[in-house]
Amino acid sequence: MGRESGGKRVSESGLPVEPVYGPEDLADWDPVAKLGEPGGYPFTRGVYPTMYTGRPWTMRQYAGFGTASESNARYKQLIANGTMGLSVAFDLPTQMGHDSDAPIAHGEVGKVGVAIDSVDDMRVLFDGIPLDKVSTSMTINAPAALLLLLYQLVAEEQGVPADKLTGTIQNDVLKEYIARGTYIFPPKPSLRLIADIFAYCKAEIPKWNTISISGYHMAEAGASPAQEIAFTLADGIEYVRTAIAAGMDVDDFAPRLSFFFVARTTILEEVAKFRAARRIWARVMREEFGAKNPKSQMLRFHTQTAGVQLTAQQPEVNLVRVAIQGLGAVLGGTQSLHTNSFDEAIALPTEKSARLALRTQQVLAYETDVTATVDPFAGSYVIEKMTDELEEAAVALMRKVEEYGGAVDAIEHGFQKNEIERNAYRIAQETDAGERVVVGVNRFKLDEEEPYEPLRVDPAIEAQQAERLAKLRADRDQAAVDAALTALRQAASGSDNVLYPMREALRARATVGEVCNTLRDVWGAYVPADAF
């Protein structure tokens, strides 16, 4: 596990790992208070009584590249291969609220996900995919409201009412300021937009998960497991406070909150991490916010295997890593899982590698016995001790965030970012020194790597998207677009829910960039303090 410190093994979070654990390590341990029953407070053993014994987790595969048409073909392949839920990756211009023909988008169109500029693209993306039958997760944050509304508009065209739609928007902008950087607006209007999304979905799309509060990207930036859950749950607390301040009752929106974590190769600590996170969140929701609905106290989460642990060297070894990481997520009680493809450290996954990643989950679900019983590690001396220690370490970090005044104030002081960067630097030093073994990188290397032909995105996509935008602007009713954007500007300047005029602007075929620019005009754009 991880590394040695002074001759002793320590976990990824820097906590001691003993060679042997026994009853003495849990001498004062209260199984009733610490564990409860599966599906019951404090949800340490899982959020549902039967967990995977009735049905396995949702198998999602994250996909999206190039044009909407290309991504649509990949989604249909994944569904044919047995994927139970789609997970959409958007390109960088879409994530930042820019149209494909904007100068700032040059060179990035379709590169890390699919380019979506308007309802026309969203229509192509989900062509032939019944939106009342699939659950769709969209990895989109600052412009999450726009992509959700585009999805709703396409569903309407299919004849699917909004109350039948199921899925998730990531919509977690606070972690963008901490670890990822695809923010658009400053924190306060961003939080206002999130509160508007909560209210809109309660009224219009009640089965939708309105936010996926994400520790994954913090972990990819170098956060330890303790930092990952501490800073993620602190962000969650900030979102709950924002919604309550906007006049919502906690039990009206909290059941639709979900979370997103990483699964590393260190199985024992990862299982303990997931269990500790559930317990902390249940206590916070019940004791701090007075949530009475058990669903408000449940920490439901999606997991993705650790992209940062994939290596370009000997990429087939990543198949082993991903299988181990997926197993850790399942033993930790995840509700849905994406397994990375083995070639993602090199380029976008090929069709074959994406299929192999899905098959990994299917082997775990149908060929192993991990679905036969709920919470297989319950009562394990090492797991329960690690769960307690991780809970204690995470709560201590959460208290430090509170000392700043909460997640937003801590972000503005750079607290979370600095903590994560320190940990990332430590990991890099240990790897460079050989104290942390990375198979194929600093140990067990090959003299010469085998050639591998990755999937490439056609650079002509940018020109194709620009042509589509030119045609859209020529064909649409520009007066209707202008009127809709004016209504959006008025709502953003006041206190009305911006999603309703935003929906009508998108229905009139306003582009993602035009809608985001309208909001930029009113709310401004975020510039981090360390940029000066």
Span 206-234, pLDDT tens digits: 999 999 999 999 999 999 999 999 999 99
Surface-to-core class of residue 163, CB atoms within 10 Å of its CB (0-12 exposed, 13-18 middle, 19+ buried): exposed
| pLDDT higher than threshold 80 for residue 7 | no
Span 388-442, pLDDT tens digits: 999 999 999 999 999 999 999 999 999 999 999 999 999 999 999 999 999 999 9
CA distances from 316 to 172, 343, 345, 449, 504 (A): 33, 8, 11, 11, 48
* Strands (E) located in 172-230: 208-209, 211-214
CA distances from 72 to 75, 92, 95 (A): 5, 18, 19
At residue 365's C-alpha, the angle toward residues 232 and 74, to 5°, is: 75
Q: List CB contacts of 426: < 8 A, sequence separation 6 or more.
A: none
Span 462-514, pLDDT tens digits: 999 999 999 999 999 999 999 999 999 999 999 999 999 999 999 999 999 99
Average pLDDT over residues 371-378: 97
Cβ count near 22 (within 10 Å): 11
- Residue 412, CA atoms < 13 Å, CB-side half-sphere: 9
Give the H/E segment covering residue 433.
helix 415-433
Average pLDDT over residues 287-297: 98
Average pLDDT over residues 76-92: 89
Architecture in CATH for domain 39-433:
Alpha-Beta Barrel (3.20)
Give the model's pLDDT for residue 456. 75
| pLDDT higher than threshold 80 for residue 452 | no
* Domain residue limits, the chain: 39-433, 476-524
Average pLDDT over residues 68-89: 90
What confidence tier does 62 reach under pLDDT thresholds 50, 70, 90?
Answer: confident
Is the distance from CB of 73 to CB of 63 less than 8 angstroms? Answer: no
Q: List CB contacts of 392: < 8 A, sequence separation 6 or more.
A: none
d(C-alpha 369, C-alpha 383), whole Å = 19
Q: List CB contacts of 85: < 8 A, sequence separation 6 or more.
A: 58, 59, 60, 134, 135, 136, 137, 167, 336
Quote the mean pLDDT of the chain: 95
Is the distance from CB of 385 to CB of 20 less than 8 angstroms? Answer: no
Give the model's pLDDT for residue 127. 97
As a whole number of Å, the end-to-end CA separation of the chain is: 40
SS3 141: coil
DSSP 248-307: --HHHHGGGEEEEEEE-S-HHHHHHHHHHHHHHHHHIIIIIS---SHHHH---EEEEE-G
